[in-house]
Amino acid sequence: MALRNIVLEGDEILRKRAREVTDLNAHVRMILDDMLETMREYDGVGIAAPQVGIMKRMFIVEIDEQVMELINPEILKTEGIQTEDEGCLSVPGKIGTVERPAYIKMKGLNREGQEVFYEGTGLLAVALSHEYDHLNGVLYIDKATNLREAEARD
């Protein structure tokens, strides 16, 4: 595995629609490994392929030590609204308040090409929605109501 550079806001890569993964091969799995390592390095909850410059429709979310990889994800269902602060590895040092579905259910493929389903509320719903947006060139700052400096950590 290898760390990858995070593409930062302002780069037009983040504004493009990523393409479907048509060949789930060893190269794709290597990219997923790199994405996970990079996400953990920067203490992220999620990371989408365009954030490492790869225009493929896939992302990773890791919550409570559960790693969820979704390739070619689709939103099956959403319910309700929650309003929480969020940030993004591609927009360092900022947070903002965003409306997201209170509940979301998605399906996609895992790295073996098998269909997988993830559903949840709270942080999981936020993260799935946030990462899915990345695949369509949407950043949370487009939706945030009070974008501001994050308090320094450490």
Site for Zn ion, rule CB under 5 A: 88
Nearest approach, Cβ of residue 9 and Zn ion (Å)? 9
Does 37 participate in catalysis according to the annotation?
A: no
Catalytic-role residue among 41, 84, 131, 149:
131
**Closer residue to Zn ion, CB minimum distance, 88 or 125:** 88
Residues 6 or more apart whose CB falls under 8 angstroms from that of 108 comprise 58, 70, 71, 72, 73, 74, 115, 116
- For 109, phi then psi, to 5°, come to -110, 150
DSSP 154: -
Which of residues 21 and 88 has its CB atom nearest to Zn ion in the complex? 88
Q: How far is the CB of 114 from Zn ion (least distance, A)?
A: 26
Distance CA 111, CA 45 (A): 19
Q: Which is nearer to Zn ion, 102 or 138 (CB)?
A: 138
Closest separation between CB of residue 90 and Zn ion, Å?
Answer: 5
Q: Sign of dihedral through CA atoms 116, 122, 125, 131?
A: negative
Q: Which of 88, 85, 73 is nearest to 119 (CA)?
A: 73
Q: Cite the active site residues.
A: 131
